[in-house]
C-alpha cells in the first residue's frame, strides 16, 4: 500500500513516486528501523512461530466461532481487534482488507461464515486516519498510466468515514446471500484513544 504510517505527527499520505524522490533532509526522524535487523522479516516470523509451536497445545476447538460473530475491519496495523474487543481465540471470524470495505469477496466470506460455520452477528469496524480517506478513484487511473492496465477492482476510497460505515452496513443488510442481517452494527475505532464509536445506521 502507498500509505505511510504515522508514528508521530500528522498523517502523511505520499504517493509512491513521491517517496522515491524524497530527499533525506525531508525524512522525519523515525524510531529504530525494525526491518534493519539481520534476516528477512519473514525469517523472523518463522522463528517466532517455532517458539509459539513449542509451547502450543491443541485447544481442541471447533471451527465454528464461539460467539457466532464475524468482524469485518480495516487491515490497519494500529487496530488490534482481539485486544480492542476483548476477543479470545476461537471467538470470531475476522475478515480484513484495506478500509474494511464490504466487497463481493467480503460478502463471500460472510456467506460462508453464516451458512457453513454458524455465525449470526456482523460487526463492521472502520477507523480514524484511514489511508482510504486520502485516495480517490484516480488511483486506478494512475495505476493504468504506470503499468498499462486498469485494475478491475474499485479503490473504494471514501471522504466521510461515518457515511462509509453506513453504506457498508447497508451492503451487508441487503445482501441476498446472508441468512442473518438483523444484527449488523458498525463502528469507527479511534486510533488515538482506542475507543469505538457506534454509527447510527440511519
Ligand atoms: Zn484503514
pLDDT digit string, tens, across residues 109-140: 999 999 999 999 999 999 999 999 999 989 99
Distance of CA 65 from the midpoint of ligand 1 (Å):
25
Phi-psi region of 148 (alpha: psi -120 to 50; beta: other; left: phi over 0): left
Distance CA 91, CA 31 (A): 35
74: containing domain? 63-199
Distance of CA 192 from the midpoint of ligand 1 (Å):
14
Closest among 77, 82, 109 to 177, alpha carbons compared: 109
Per-residue pLDDT at 33: 74
Distance of CA 13 from the midpoint of ligand 1 (Å):
12
Strands 196-199 and 184-189: antiparallel
- Please check whether residue 34 lies inside any domain of the structure: no
Average pLDDT, the chain: 87
Distance of CA 161 from the midpoint of ligand 1 (Å):
10
In sequence order, the 6+-apart residues with CB closer than 8 A to the CB of 1 are 98, 131
**Mean pLDDT computed over 11-40:** 54
- Please check whether residue 173 lies inside any domain of the structure: yes
- Please check whether residue 105 lies inside any domain of the structure: yes
Phi-psi region of 105 (alpha: psi -120 to 50; beta: other; left: phi over 0): alpha
**Mean pLDDT computed over 94-102:** 98
* Domains in the chain, number: 1
pTM score, two decimals? 0.81
Distance of CA 30 from the midpoint of ligand 1 (Å):
21
Task: Indicate whether 12 pLDDT > 50.
Answer: no
Distance CA 99, CA 132 (A): 6
Distance of CA 107 from the midpoint of ligand 1 (Å):
19
Element at 140 (helix H, strand E):
helix 138-147
- Please check whether residue 135 lies inside any domain of the structure: yes
The b/e string for 102-132 (b: 16+ C-beta within 10 A; e otherwise) is bbeebbebbeebbeeeebbbbbbbbbbbbbb
Distance of CA 96 from the midpoint of ligand 1 (Å):
10
Q: Which residues surround ligand 1, an ion (CB under 5 A)?
A: 74, 76, 130
CATH code of the domain covering residue 102:
3.40.1050.10
Per-residue pLDDT at 30: 59
- Please check whether residue 84 lies inside any domain of the structure: yes
Amino acid at each position: 500500500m502507498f500509505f505511510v504510517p504515522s508514528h508521530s505527527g500528522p498523517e502523511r499520505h505520499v504517493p509512491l513516486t513521491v517517496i522515491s524522490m524524497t530527499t533525506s533532509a525531508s525524512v522525519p526522524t523515525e524510531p529504530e528501523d525494525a526491518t534493519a535487523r539481520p534476516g528477512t522479516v519473514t525469517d523472523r516470523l518463522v522463528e517466532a512461530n517455532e517458539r509459539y509451536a513449542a509451547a502450543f497445545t491443541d485447544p481442541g476447538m471447533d471451527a465454528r466461532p464461539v460467539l457466532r460473530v464475524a468482524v469485518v475491519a480495516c487491515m490497519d496495523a494500529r487496530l488490534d481487534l482481539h485486544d480492542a474487543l476483548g476477543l479470545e481465540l476461537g471467538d470470531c471470524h475476522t475478515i480484513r482488507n484495506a478500509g474494511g470495505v464490504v466487497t463481493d469477496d467480503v460478502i463471500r466470506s460472510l456467506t460462508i461464515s453464516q451458512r457453513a460455520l454458524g455465525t449470526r452477528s456482523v460487526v463492521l469496524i472502520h477507523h480514524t486516519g484511514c489511508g482510504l480517506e486520502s485516495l480517490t478513484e484516480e488511483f486506478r487511473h494512475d495505476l493504468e498510466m504506470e503499468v498499462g492496465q486498469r485494475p478491475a477492482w474499485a479503490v473504494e476510497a471514501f471522504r466521510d468515514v461515518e457515511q462509509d460505515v453506513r453504506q457498508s452496513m447497508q451492503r451487508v443488510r441487503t445482501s441476498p446471500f446472508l441468512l442473518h442481517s438483523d444484527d449488523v452494527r458498525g463502528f469507527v475505532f479511534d486510533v488515538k484513544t482506542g475507543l469505538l464509536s457506534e454509527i447510527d445506521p440511519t
